[in-house]
Amino acid sequence: MSSIFKIGNRNNSFDRTMAVEFTQLAADYKAVNLGQGFPDFSPPSFVQEAFCKALNGGFPMHQYTRAFGHPNLVKILAKFFSRIVGREIDPMEDILVSVGAYQALFCTFQALIDEGDEVIIVEPFFDCYQPMVMMAGGTAVYVPLKPREGCGPVLSSADWVLSPEELASKFSPRTKAIVINTPNNPLGKVYQREELQMIADLCIKHDVICISDEVYEWLTYDGTKHVKIASLPGMWERTVTIGSAGKTFSATGWKVGWAMGSGHILKHLKTVHQNSVYHCATAAQVKQCSF
Ligand code: PMP
C-alpha cells in the first residue's frame, strides 16, 4: 500500500545506539556483554524488601503520584544531598525525579539547549550525550581526556586528565554547557577537586552551565573521594547534577534517577518532564524512603 504520509526525519541519524546494538549482538552470539553495565547479582535484600513493602502499601502505590517526584523521595534526597553540597536543597524546587538518569539527561538537554548552541563533551563519554545534544538542536564539541604528560604507561584512571589549555580553547560565545561524568564511564576516572575547580572557573568565566553526570558517585575505590562540582563556590547556580538510584542500589531495571540543581534551572527540566513521561513509577520511588 502506498503511504500518503511522510515520516518525520528529525531523528533519522540517531536510530542506532551502542547499548541496543551491543545487547542484541551479545544475545545473538551468547557473548559477555561489555556494552551495557549492570550487575549480575540481586540488589541488597533491604532494597528488595522495601520495594515489596511499597508494592503492598495500598492503592496509592499503584496510582499516579506527584509529577516531579514522590514527596517522600524528593524530601529524603534533599535532606541527604544538602549535607554533601553544603547548602539547603529545596525538595520541591531543586529536584526532579525521572525515569532513570537517562531521562534526567534527556530533560536537561531538551530544556537547556537551543538551536545553534554548543555543548562541550569530555571524551570518552557515555554514548547518549551526543545524540541528546543533537536532538535538542545543539552542536557537540569534544575535548579528550588524555594520559598525563610524562607519566609513562597509564597506571590508573587518574592518569587520564584534561589539558586546561585545550579545554579553554573549546569555549566560544556559542557555548551553552559542558558535560562531565565523574566517576567516568568508561574510564572509571574520578575527577579531583583541582580538576573540577579548573572546569568550574571556565564555566563561571564564560557563563556556561555544567551538566554533571554522577550516577557512579558511590563507586569509588582505594580512598578516592568523589567531589560534587555543584559544591564548589559559584557552581550550584549553574550546575545540573544527575543521579541514579538504579546504579546506587544495583537495581538498574527500576529506572529511578534524578536531576538536582537550582530551582531556576530545574523548572525548565520539569516542563520537558511533565510533557513527556509525567512521572516515574510510584512504588519504585517509595522504596527509597522506607529505610
Ligand atoms: N549516565 C551514565 C554515565 C551511565 O553509565 C548510565 C547507565 N549506564 C546512565 C547515565 C543512565 O542511568 P539510568 O540507568 O539511571 O538511566
Cell of 145: 581526556
Cell of 153: 604507561
3-284: which CATH topology? Answer: Aspartate Aminotransferase; domain 2 (3.40.640)
Interval between CA 101 and ligand 1 midpoint (Å): 6
pLDDT given for residue 94 in this prediction: 98
Which own/partner contact pairs does 88-91 have at CB distance under 8 Å and 24+ positions apart? 89/260, 90/263
Q: What is the pLDDT of residues 18-53, one digit of tens each?
A: 778 888 898 999 998 877 777 889 999 999 999 999
Interval between CA 153 and ligand 1 midpoint (Å): 29
Pocket test for ligand 1, best of 241, 247, 249 (most atoms within 8 A of CB): 247
Higher-pLDDT residue of 182 and 7 is: 182
Interval between CA 58 and ligand 1 midpoint (Å): 31
Pocket test for ligand 1, best of 23, 109, 121, 126 (most atoms within 8 A of CB): 126
Q: Minimal CA–CA distance to 126: which of 40, 213, 252?
A: 213
Q: Which atom, in ligand 1's list, is nearest to the CA of 37? A: 8
| pLDDT (average), residues 211-235 | 97
| pLDDT (average), residues 252-270 | 97
DSSP 212-232: EE-TTTT---TT-----GGGS
Q: What is the pLDDT of residues 58-83, one digit of tens each?
A: 999 999 999 999 999 999 999 999 99
Interval between CA 190 and ligand 1 midpoint (Å): 16
Residues for the chain: how many in total? 291
DSSP 157-206: GGGEE--HHHHHHH--TTEEEEEEESSPTTT-----HHHHHHHHHHHHHH
* β-sheet bridge partners, residue 240: 211
pLDDT given for residue 242 in this prediction: 98
Q: Report if pTM > 0.85.
A: yes
Q: Which atom, in ligand 1's list, is nearest to the CA of 245? A: 15
Q: Which residues line ligand 1 (CB under 6 A)?
A: 37, 100-102, 126, 181, 185, 213, 215, 244, 246-247, 252, 255, 257
Interval between CA 239 and ligand 1 midpoint (Å): 18
- Peptide bond connecting 60 to the previous residue in cis, omega within 30 degrees of 0: no
Higher-pLDDT residue of 288 and 253 is: 253
Higher-pLDDT residue of 115 and 291 is: 115
pLDDT given for residue 289 in this prediction: 47
| Strand 256-260 relative to strand 239-244, pairing | antiparallel
Mean pLDDT of the chain: 93
pLDDT given for residue 287 in this prediction: 63
Measured CA distances, 102 to 27, 241, 270 (Å)? 23, 12, 15
Torsion over CA of 32, 37, 38 and 44, rounded to 10 degrees? 130
Q: What is the pLDDT of residues 116-153, one digit of tens each?
A: 999 999 999 999 999 999 999 999 999 999 998 877 77
* Every domain of the chain and the residues it spans: 3-284
pLDDT given for residue 290 in this prediction: 42
DSSP 132-161: HHHHTT-EEEEEE-EEPTT--S--SGGGEE
Q: What is the pLDDT of residues 169-217, one digit of tens each?
A: 999 999 999 999 999 999 999 999 999 999 999 999 999 999 999 999 9
